Structures are given as C-alpha cells and as structure tokens.
Copies of this chain bind each other. A is one copy, B any other.
Amino acid sequence: MSDPIRIAILGASGYTGAELIRLLDTHDRAELAILTADRRAGQTLAAVFPHLASVKAPPLVAIDDVTDWSGVDVVFCCLPHATTQAVIAGLPEHLKIVDLSADFRLADTEEYARWYGGPHKAPELQKTAVYGLTELARPEIAAARLVANPGCYPTGPHLALAPLIESGLIEPDGIIIDAKSGVSGAGRAAKEGLLHGEVSEGIHAYGVASHRHSPEIEQALSKAAGRTVRASFTPHLMPMNRGILCTMYVQAHAGADAATLLAKLAVRYQGEPFVKVLPTGTTPHTRHVRGSNLCLIGAVDDRVPGRVILVSVIDNLVKGAAGQAVQNMNVMFGLPETAGLALQPMFP
C-alpha cells in the first residue's frame, strides 16, 4: 500500500462530516488525521456518531486549537456558509482543500454578495477556486488547490442539462427544475421546521424563486449556453432522509426528442462510473442511488409537443456532497476515481 492521504475534516459533527467518514473508511489510502467540531470538542467520534464507533478516528477538537497542519494533506471543509472564507484563507499553502460550503461556488463575488447578504471575504482566493462537478471539470480539478464542491440541488440538473445546452439540443432559457429533497440536505441543526412532527406525512415548497442554489444553477446553465440564462428552480422538502429528484421541463430544438437527448448524454458520460443514462421512456427513483455516488438520468417525451421531461436522482449526501468531495480528492491526488466510492446503493 502506498502512503496514506492524511485528511482533516473541519465541521465533522454534521451529516456531511459523518458521511465523509463512512465513505473514507472504505478508501484504502485515506487516514483521518484531524476532526474538528467546535461545540463537540473533546468528545470522541463515537459520542457524536455512535454508528461510527468502530471507525479509527482521532477525538474532535476545536478548529482554533489546530496549530500544526504539517501532518495533513487535504482538508474537507464542512463549515457553515459565510464562515468558511476566512477559515480557508488562513490555511497553510501546502494543503489541498475541498470546500463543501457554498462560499467559493459562485465565480462572481458580487453575485455572492447579493445572495448571501454580505461581501465575499476572500475574493482573491475565489479566483483560484475550481467548481468541482467532477465529470465536467476533471482537468481543472486535477490542477486545483481549492475545489468548491457543488451544491446538492445543482448537481443532477447540471449533469443532465449542460451537455444538452452545449450541443444546442435544447433551449437554454426558461428551463424549469422542480426539485424534491430529503431532509438531510438541511443539516443537523435543531430547527423547528426539521422536526419529525413537522416534516413527516407532508410536502411543501420553500425558497420558491429565491433559493440560494438558483444562482449556482444559472451559473452552470449560462456557462453551457455561453450567455446569461434564467431558470425556474423550485425546491420541495420531503419526508425522507436522503435523496434529491429533479424533474426538468425543457424545450427541445427542432428534431430533437427524448431519445436524441439521452443519446447525447450517453455519449457524453460513456465510461463514467457514477453517471448513468436510462433507456428512453424510463425515469429513476431516488431509492436506486441511496448511499451511493450515482447520478441516474432518464427522459420522456411530453404530451406538449417539443417538450421533454428529464428526471435526475442523486443521494444528496453522497454525489450531492461527501461522495463528490471524495471523488474530487481522488482526482486531485491522481487516485482511482472510485476509491472510497465503490458501495452499491442500499435498498430498502
């Protein structure tokens, strides 16, 4: 076995941190060097996450108490939005960084300021950050020091739509993305709206036309279109823990239909271990990817002429967060991309 990759996870007491640890436990090059969690500092991982009691891991520490980063090769940053910029700006140069917050996702720092309510605190660093949707930015990720891991909602639509827009098969303007997410995407914070009594046995839309993943989605679609485009994005909160399903309504350009679109995607993602294109007329369940790094994409011709309905599914904690982060780490370190990510979905 080669030398281990020594890993620090900042903000390890949330669901994303736990998921990173679950996946890295199957990664034969990964070694957990530092776990931080300010409110749980001094506790063992087993105390915070009893399901991970068997994992070999150091106790949690406060981030300010980490003074020596020499034993670390890569940092996964799972801190809250807005607090992350300053932390990352202060990390030693030798560290590679995968940031799972939203802080470095928007290339335009003014756009960031509009959506996140304050100026970006590390605009120079932002210029060096690579937006890390692995399948669409492998060379840049391989060369990057700082990777901004994509948001959970944008990942599926980005994978499904960018190649179709780039190839001119669909109209880039006015695409509708109707998204349904499990609750783990909202994190482990104790909020009334996330209680079992409030979430189970129901569904609701939230952040309609105002969710912070909107500019990230539009950034992706605009880049593919070569010009600024707007999209409709409506997230819904559902009574499940894991999974995002996005139903996308697109206008196909003359002559294109669901089969054409899927054929294009099949070529684009041929050989990809994690992105799978379904046969025309079929659509995936979130259950088909739970616990895995997979993204499945299906499409059906609509009754409204020229319209195609695309459906993508991911596990928001894996391909939508920790899994893609590990995938990016693998690319950054030249490792096999499936290392730590070979698990099949768990069903039921």
* A348 B198 Cβ-Cβ under 8 A: yes
Contact A302 B232 (CB under 8 A): yes
List the B side residues contacting A21 at CB < 8 Å: 344
CB-CB under 8 A from A240, the residues of chain B are 200-203, 239
A249 at the interface (CB under 8 A from B): yes
Q: Which residues of B contact A305 (CB under 8 A)?
A: 230
Please pick, from B15, B192, B286, B309, the residue contacting A203 in the complex, using a CB distance under 8 A: B286
Residues of A within 8 A of B (CB): 15, 18, 21-22, 25-26, 49-55, 173-174, 176, 178, 180, 182-184, 188, 190-192, 194-206, 208-209, 214, 230-234, 236, 238-243, 245, 247, 249, 276, 283-292, 294, 300-305, 307, 309, 311, 342-348
Residues in B whose Cβ lies below 8 Å from that of A289: 51
* B176 lies within 8 A of A52 (CB): no
- What would 15 more interface pairs be, CB under 8 Å, given A22-B345, A205-B283? A174-B304, A180-B180, A183-B197, A184-B197, A188-B195, A188-B197, A188-B198, A198-B348, A200-B241, A202-B240, A202-B286, A202-B287, A242-B348, A291-B291, A291-B346
In the assembled complex, how far is the CB of residue A170 from the closest CB belonging to chain B, in whole angstroms?
15
Residues of B within 8 A of A51 (CB): 287-290, 292, 344-347
Known: A238-B238, A346-B346. A249 touches B249 (CB 8 A): yes
Contacts of A178 in B (CB 8 A): 178, 247, 249
Provide the bound-state CA to CA distance between A250 and B303, in Å.
Answer: 16
Instruction: Among A231, A232, A342, find the residue whose CB has the most chain B CB atoms closer than 10 A.
Output: A232
How far apart sit A318 and B110, CA to CA, in the bound complex (Å)?
Answer: 49
